[in-house]
Chains A and B, each alone.
Chain A
Amino acid sequence: AQRVTQPEKLLSVFKGAPVELKCNYSYSGSPELFWYVQYSRQRLQLLLRHISRESIKGFTADLNKGETSFHLKKPFAQEEDSAMYYCAQNRDDKIIFGKGTRLHILP
């Protein structure tokens, strides 16, 4: 079965420290992968997708097919980065979400 795994339920990082949110997927082909973010009391929104190789709000994510990973990274955490982050995989227009990681930036 297809799975998206986010092993950390909660990640606390000091402001200014690097951030890495882990995501592993199970599809062995060429997946389409996303990161979604939900800030407190706001709607879920798309943060980035791997096909566009863009950097949004300082975040990047590289697809590693050998490790089947799509970890989200940011070199220097900011307090406004505190939010829920969901990794998602799209195959044949069916999207599967990981269970999410809550990122808490400590002052």
Chain B
Amino acid sequence: SQTIHQWPATLVQPVGSPLSLECTVEGTSNPNLYWYRQAAGRGLQLLFYSIGIDQISSEVPQNLSASRPQDRQFILSSKKLLLSDSGFYLCAWTPGLAGGTDTQYFGPGTRLTVL
């Protein structure tokens, strides 16, 4: 069966420090991968999605970047965190083109607090 992992679960970082959040998927191949953020009091916002290795689309201009060095690994990064980067970050996957379904499978999330 497929599983999705995210770490860390909770992170407190000072302003200006770097960030690296990792997401990995097991039990499937060629998934589409997504990074979402929920800021306090708002709905979910799509940050990045990827249909393959090194194929990443950015949805909103921001202080963050994403990379996909392997088929089932998706990394969210920042060189210098801002206070506004605080929030809850969710990774998700959907089956690739061969999967034939749009069902999203969400990871457990990472709560990031920037001080």
- Residues in A lying within 8 Å of B, measured CB to CB: 34, 36, 38, 40-41, 43-46, 49, 84, 86, 88, 90, 93-97, 99-100, 102
> A84 and B104 in contact (CB under 8 A), knowing A93-B88, A94-B109?
yes
User: CB < 8 Å: which of A46, A84, A95 contacts B109?
Assistant: A95
What 1/0 mask marks residues of chain B from 7 to 42 whose CB sits below 8 Å from any chain A CB? Answer: 000000000000000000000000000001010100
Q: Are B88 and A94 in contact (CB under 8 A)?
A: yes
B61 at the A/B interface (Cβ < 8 Å)? no
Shortest CB–CB separation between residue B100 and chain A, in angstroms? 11
Q: Say yes or no: A34 contacts B43, CB within 8 Å.
A: yes
Chain B interface main SS type: strand
**Cβ-defined contact, B102 with A46, below 8 A:** no
Residue contacts A-B, CB under 8 angstroms, 9 given: A43-B46, A44-B104, A84-B104, A86-B104, A93-B40, A93-B87, A95-B109, A97-B90, A97-B104
Cβ 8 A contact of A84, one of B36, B103, B111: B103
Query: Does A95 lie within 8 Å of B90, measured CB to CB?
Result: yes
Docked CA distance A38–B32 (Å): 15
Q: How far is the CA of A40 from the CA of B40 in the complex (A)?
A: 28
Query: How many B residues are at the interface, by size bracket?
Result: 10 to 19
Chain B residues contacting A34 (CB-CB under 8 Å) are 43
Q: Which of B40, B43, B87, B102 is close to A38, meaning CB atoms less than 8 Å apart?
A: B102
In the complex, what distance in Å separates the CA atom of A88 from the CA atom of B38? 12
B89 to chain A, nearest CB (A): 10
Chain B residues whose CB sits within 8 angstroms of the CB of A36 once the complex forms: 43-44
A38, B104: Cβ atoms under 8 Å? Answer: yes
In the complex, which residues of chain B have a beta carbon less than 8 angstroms from the beta carbon of A90? 38
B111 and A93 contacting across the interface, CB-CB below 8 Å: yes
* B102 & A84 in contact (Cβ 8 Å cutoff): yes
Task: State the CA gap A95–B102 with chains docked (Å).
Answer: 20
Known: A93-B38, A93-B88, A95-B88. A46 touches B103 (CB 8 A): no
Q: Which residue of A lies closest to B36 (CB)?
A: A44
